[in-house]
Structure formats: C-alpha cells, structure tokens
Amino acid sequence: MSERFWDVVCAGFPIWAVLFGLNIVLLVFMGLSLFLATPESGTRQIVVINLVLIVGFLTVLGFTIRTCRQGDY
C-alpha cells in the first residue's frame, strides 16, 4: 500500500489503541451475554452477530496497530 496512506493512518495511532481496548471490553461483555441469553431468544442471535463484527474489527485494528508499530509500510 501507499506510504502516504500509512503515514495518515499511523498519525492516529493513539485512537486505534483506545478503540482496540474498547473493543476488548465489548468482546468480554458480548461473551458474557452469549452465555446468559437463552438459545431460543432473538437476543442470542444479535449477540452472535455482534461478536462476528467485533472480532472482525479487532482483526483490522490489530493489523493496523502492528503495521504502525513495526513500520512495515
């Protein structure tokens, strides 16, 4: 990818770190909700969808943080 793109993205590194931490907290809450929700309720399905979205976002944030720290761009 373009070096300029990563320069702009890595300029916001503190924001990515805070978002990563917040997503970890949400992941814990969603994990607890997964076990507390009954299998028949629609809540459980929403929790599973949220978990998929949170894990995907954590993957993107983790890649971004790793790339900015290592300077692989």
Ranges of each domain in the chain = 3-70
| Cα–Cα distance measured from residue 7 to residue 26, given in angstroms and rounded to the nearest whole number | 28
H helix intervals, 1-73: 3-11, 13-36, 42-70
Q: How confident is the model at residue 13 (pLDDT cuts 50, 70, 90)?
A: very high
The pTM score is 0.81
- Whole-number CA gyration radius for the chain: 16
| pLDDT tens by residue, 18-71 | 999 999 999 999 999 988 888 888 888 899 899 999 999 999 999 999 999 998
